[in-house]
Amino acid sequence: MLDAGKITVDAFLDKGDPAVLEQFQALQATYQAEFEREGYPWARK
């Protein structure tokens, strides 16, 4: 699965808009930090 995803990411980096990837990575960091602080949304009380 990870190998297949790497092919997609590499193809995107070759042809895509780098700003889109940067925005995705920023959102990923935001949600990762939220997860680390608060856990899974469905497990919150």
The residue segments making up the domain with residue 44 are 17-45
Structurally, how many domains does the chain consist of? Answer: 1
pTM: predicted TM-score of the whole model, two decimal places: 0.58
pLDDT at 34: 96
pLDDT at 35: 96
pLDDT at 2: 77
Q: 6-43 burial string, b = 16+ CB within 10 Å, else e?
A: eeeeeeeeeeeeeeeeeeeeeeeeeeeeeeeeeeeeee
pLDDT tens-digit series, residues 1-45: 777 777 777 777 778 778 888 898 999 999 999 999 999 999 987
Q: Is residue 41 part of a domain?
A: yes
pLDDT at 45: 75
Q: Is residue 44 part of a domain?
A: yes
pLDDT at 38: 95
